[in-house]
Amino acid sequence: MVRRYKYPRFLSRPRGYVVLLLLSFLCTMYSMLHFIYYKPGRANALLYRYQAMQETVIDYVYYGGIRRRKTEKNMYIIYIYIYDIKGSASTPAQTIPYLPLNYNYSNFDVCPEKFPEMKGQIYVNMTEIPLSEVNTNFSHIIQHGGSWEPHDCIAAWNVAFLIPFRNRFEHLPILFRHLLPMLIKQRIKFSIFVINQEGDDLFNRALLLNIGFVEAMKIDHSFDCFIFHDVDHIPENDRNYYGCTGMPRLFAEQLDIHGYRLEYEDFFGGVNGVTTQQFKNVNGFSNQFWGWGGEDDDFYTRIRHYGYNVSRPPNNYGKYQSIVNHHTQERQYLGRFSRLKHSVERNFIDGLNSLHYKKPTIRHYPLFTNISLKLRPD
């Protein structure tokens, strides 16, 4: 005997389907709202990608496929997101000491980029702690104002870390507790600057960094490497060497919230570094990106325009964890896509050579120097 499957009674009436549809609609809406509320960073990133795609489609229609490369790039993004969500391979265990071949410690040699204390993967502790706890641990090692240099060899680079900042006080201690020990292990001479934007105007990350560059150079002429470090990016591998190279470098190549994949081929944001000369050559950042997003893509265009390639850390060392509520507090810059189309034209007139700002307040704290000012859109 064949057993007939019986539908629930209410589905035998059309009204039953309406109820079902309504229920599934409500469920979808609920999970979307839930996602946006609890994962605003991801939601924002998706929105960003959606806008970029939309822009591409519009270009495609208007210019009939001339901007093919860009389309392919975005197709690539979609591909990654749909098919390749698996994590990344972890760094293989190191059996031989992490040192250059035949290296002899000497006070008179330039420090190499490898030291045995650099063990690779580091444990990231995202617990919020007060700044005083990090101060206690490091203020006897780090000079007041946030600088340090090695004494058992000559530092290869004198690095200025510029951290664009507004209201993320709980992020600073988390960054410091991971970054400082790492830099000390790497024997890098460094100084840390927090560039603080006062007031509630739109955030201008790039302008802050230009100002940070000029002000840091006033404090120490001998900086030869600048690293622009978002406060919510925590390095996961202490072999990700924080020095410059002959090419601008992208340190934060793989981010946990993007499944440890490069966000897109031309991505140059989060944590990156250039030599002082490279930064001057490209005329710094654009000053015109008010609100979150776009300034890093513009900077990438500048770099490429000057014939530089982007260098990236080897062996998947460029892994970072981002502190949640990434990008939530700052409003997006919606005009960025149209501005980005003219990156090259603006290059010569918009940047270090067109920088105007009122004198910042400079204060020295135990682990950093705070360069603070209000920015005015003109």
Residue 287 touching ligand NAG (CB under 6 A): no
Instruction: Let me know: does 222 contact 158? Beta carbons within 8 Å.
Output: yes
d(CA 318, CA 233): 11
- Annotate each residue in 147-186 with x if it binds ligand NAG (CB under 6 A) or - if it does not, as one string: ------------------x------x----x---------
Residue 357 touching ligand NAG (CB under 6 A): no
Beta carbon nearer to ligand NAG, 181 or 259 = 181
Paired tokens of 20: 């079902």
Q: How far is the CB of 59 from ligand NAG (least distance, A)?
A: 25
Q: Which of 267, 303, 285 is nearest to 213 (CA)?
A: 285
Instruction: Let me know: does 289 contact 298? Beta carbons within 8 Å.
Output: yes
d(CA 335, CA 376): 18
Give the range of 127-135, 139-147, 229-237, 319-327 binding ligand NAG by CB under 6 A: 127-135
Q: How far is the CB of 200 from ligand NAG (least distance, A)?
A: 13
Give the range of 50-58, 97-105, 326-334, 343-351 binding ligand NAG by CB under 6 A: 97-105
Residue 12 touching ligand NAG (CB under 6 A): no
Residue 309 touching ligand NAG (CB under 6 A): yes
Q: How far is the CB of 172 from ligand NAG (least distance, A)?
A: 6
Paired tokens of 17: 């389907």
Paired tokens of 216: 């840091």
Residue 307 touching ligand NAG (CB under 6 A): yes
| Out of 125, 132, 143, 315, the residue judged to bind ligand NAG by CB under 6 A | 125
Beta carbon nearer to ligand NAG, 187 or 339 = 187
Residue 97 touching ligand NAG (CB under 6 A): no
Residue 74 touching ligand NAG (CB under 6 A): no
Beta carbon nearer to ligand NAG, 98 or 103 = 103
Instruction: Let me know: does 231 contact 165? Beta carbons within 8 Å.
Output: yes
Q: How far is the CB of 260 from ligand NAG (least distance, A)?
A: 21
Residue 103 touching ligand NAG (CB under 6 A): yes
The CB density around residue 50, as the number of other CB atoms within 10 Å, is 10
* Contacts of 158 by beta carbon, 8 Å cutoff, 6+ apart: 149, 189, 190, 191, 220, 222, 223, 224, 225
Instruction: Let me know: does 279 contact 226? Beta carbons within 8 Å.
Output: yes
Residue 21 touching ligand NAG (CB under 6 A): no
Instruction: Let me know: does 232 contact 322? Beta carbons within 8 Å.
Output: yes
Give the range of 43-51, 71-79, 129-137, 315-323 binding ligand NAG by CB under 6 A: 129-137
d(CA 181, CA 125): 14
Beta carbon nearer to ligand NAG, 166 or 189 = 166
Residue type, 167: N
* Contacts of 378 by beta carbon, 8 Å cutoff, 6+ apart: 356
Q: Kindly give the pairing relationship between strand 254-255 and strand 225-229.
A: unpaired
Helices (H), the chain: 14-38, 40-63, 68-83, 131-138, 171-185, 205-219, 276-281, 295-305, 336-340, 343-346
Residue 249 touching ligand NAG (CB under 6 A): no
Kindly list the residues in this chain that would bind ligand NAG in the complex (CB under 6 A). Answer: 102-104, 125, 127, 129, 133-134, 137, 165, 172, 177, 194, 196, 307, 309, 361, 363, 370, 372
